[in-house]
Structure 1
Amino acid sequence: MKSLFEQMGGTYTLQGDYYLPNLTLPIEENKPIGIWGQRHMRYLKQHRKVLYTNLLTSGKLRSYLANIDEQAEDMFFRLVEQMAEREGITEKLKAEQPIEWVGKMNALREAAVEIVNAEVIFA
């Protein structure tokens, strides 16, 4: 009588005294994962282990992380642009007072990173 694994087309390999199933992970698209996706993956590994394992074993982890990375990147640039407009940080300021412009932009970028982390990466 065949096991359920064998009925589904699985095979076994003899390792010493035991037959072990020949298991492989599904092939996944090789999508690039940026810094946001890597941060989210670290978060999943540390705080959402079941979700991480389910995505990994189903072959959907890379596409999931690439999607999160894309969402976070879009949100980050949109936030920086909106915040700069609201604060009146313009190209004119950049040309006339570059040091002040850099300081203000760095502060905006840090604020945007915090928002993206809270709403996308660590959510």
Structure 2
Amino acid sequence: MKKQIYDAKNGMSYTLHGDYYLPDLVLNEEEPTYGKYGMLRKQFLKEHKSARYQYLLLTGKLNEHLNQTDQEAREQVEMLMKQMAEKQDVTEELKAQDQMKCVRLMNNIKASAEEIVLKNMIYM
């Protein structure tokens, strides 16, 4: 039996240890750069999509996936907040006239935008 083999189907190499071929896995020690949405996505994958999580982890694509998801989610939240603020007439004039009302509206807008993004991007 060969000491090492390569499986072209999954792109992994294996080394013979006793009677078994074990995958040659290398832990990537990259510092994660993702934020809130990346962490939420990681937790969701771990708990509800464990096969996908394991695949991303073993292929070394987990951090890339989490960084991309985090970036896209932040951009989506910003865009939704801007659109919602325009529809609800939250302007600098309102901010000058009634600051507390403006803060309340913006907090509600942010919560709504985050809820939409979480449902459509993170928890799917």
**TM-score, L = length of structure 2:** 0.82
Structure 1 regions of 5+ residues with no counterpart?
none
Structure ranking higher in strand proportion: 2
Larger RCO: Structure 1 or Structure 2 (Cα < 8 Å, ≥ 6 residues apart)? Answer: 1
Matches within 5 A, 1:1-123: 1-3=1-3, 6-8=4-6, 23-25=24-26, 27=28, 30=31, 32-123=33-124
1:99 aligns to what SS in structure 2?
Answer: helix
In 2, Cα distance between equivalents of 1:85 and 1:58: 43
Q: Tell me if the contact between 1:26 and 1:58 (Cα under 8 Å) persists in the aligned partners.
A: no
Structure ranking higher in helix proportion: 1
Q: Tell me if the contact between 2:5 and 2:15 (Cα under 8 Å) persists in the aligned partners.
A: no
Deviation >6 Å, runs of 4+:
none
Give aligned-pair identity as a percent.
32
Q: Tell me if the contact between 2:2 and 2:16 (Cα under 8 Å) persists in the aligned partners.
A: no
Measured against aligned partners, the alpha-carbon deviations of 1:2-61 in whole angstroms (never above 9, x if no partner) come to 24xx244765679xxx99958433647655111001101110001000000000000000
Structure 2 regions of 5+ residues with no counterpart?
7-12
State the superposition RMSD in angstroms.
2.5
